[in-house]
A and B are shown apart, each in its own frame.
Chain A
Amino acid sequence: KNQVEQSPQSLIILEGKNCTLQCNYTVSPFSNLRWYKQDTGRGPVSLTIMTFSENTKSNGRYTATLDADTKQSSLHITASQLSDSASYICVVRGGGADGLTFGKGTHLIIQP
Chain B
Amino acid sequence: GAVVSQHPSRVICKSGTSVKIECRSLDFQATTMFWYRQFPKKSLMLMATSNEGSKATYEQGVEKDKFLINHASLTLSTLTVTSAHPEDSSFYICSAERGGYETQYFGPGTRLLVL
Check A32–B46 contact: CB distance below 8 A.
Answer: no
Check A45–B43 contact: CB distance below 8 A.
Answer: no
**A89 CB contact (under 8 Å) in B6, B44, B95, B107:** B44
**Interface residue stretch chosen among B11-19, B60-68, B97-105:** B97-105
Q: Interface on B for A, CB 8 Å cutoff? A: 1, 4, 6, 41-44, 46, 49, 91, 93, 95, 102-109, 111
With A31-B102, A32-B102 as known contacts, state yes or no: A43 contacts B107, CB within 8 Å.
yes
A: contact size bracket? 20 to 34
Residues on B with C-beta less than 8 A from A93 are: 102
Q: What is the bound-complex CA distance between A102 and B44, given in angstroms? A: 7
**B109 CB contact (under 8 Å) in A43, A49, A105:** A43
With A41-B91, A41-B111 as known contacts, state yes or no: A46 contacts B105, CB within 8 Å.
yes
